[in-house]
């Protein structure tokens, strides 16, 4: 599986919250270092942050956007009203959508992150027996 680089804001109190303008440069350098060691990476971030600061990075994205539904959606993230869906470059590289952190209806009724993913992307990391 690819290594997920988690890039999030910490409400202005995180050590790196004041360098957002340089964040994509630093993350690109980190991805290149991992790549030189044959380590695949993806970026995990919230949709707004990725849309504003990270979308130009050559990476696949697993985005968090909570649509406030209590059930597992039967549609993909691009059908939401979130601003990032208009960013074609970001949407072309999106391979996962974390849609909740509080479970999902009767199927998962306890607090837990739940995501929908692009199986085609992740199948490349399966080891055939």
The 10s digit of each residue's pLDDT in 65-124 is 998 878 889 999 999 989 999 999 999 999 999 999 988 888 888 899 999 999 999 999
Taking the C-alpha atoms of residue 101 and residue 109, their distance in angstroms, rounded to an integer, is 11
Confirm if 80 and 91 have CB atoms less than 8 A apart.
no
Q: Span 25-36, mean pLDDT?
A: 96
Token reading at 113: 């992150």
pTM: 0.89
The structural domains of the chain, ordered by start, are: 3-123 (3.20.20.80)
Answer with the residue of higher pLDDT: 7 or 17. 7
Please tell me the predicted confidence (pLDDT) of residue 18: 76
Q: Which of 11-15, 32-36, 45-49, 113-117 has the lowest mean pLDDT?
A: 11-15
Angle at 60 between CA 100 and CA 99, to 5 degrees: 10
Confirm if 7 and 49 have CB atoms less than 8 A apart.
yes
Angle at 99 between CA 7 and CA 17, to 5 degrees: 20
- For the segment 4-13, what is each residue's pLDDT rounded down to a tens digit? 999 987 776 7
Q: For tokens 């993909």, name the residue.
A: 76
């Amino acid at each position: 599986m690819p290594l997920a680089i988690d890039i999030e804001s910490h409400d202005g109190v995180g050590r790196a919250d004041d360098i957002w303008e340089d964040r994509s440069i630093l993350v690109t350098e980190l991805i290149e270092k991992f790549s030189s060691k044959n380590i695949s990476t993806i970026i995990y971030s919230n949709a707004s942050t990725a849309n504003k600061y990270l979308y130009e990075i050559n990476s696949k994205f697993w985005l968090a956007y909570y649509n406030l539904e209590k059930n597992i959606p039967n549609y993909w993230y691009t059908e939401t009203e979130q601003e990032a869906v208009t960013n074609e470059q970001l949407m072309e590289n999106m391979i996962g959508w974390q849609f909740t952190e509080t479970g999902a209806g009767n199927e998962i009724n306890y607090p837990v992150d739940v995501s929908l993913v692009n199986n085609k992307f992740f199948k490349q990391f399966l080891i055939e027996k």
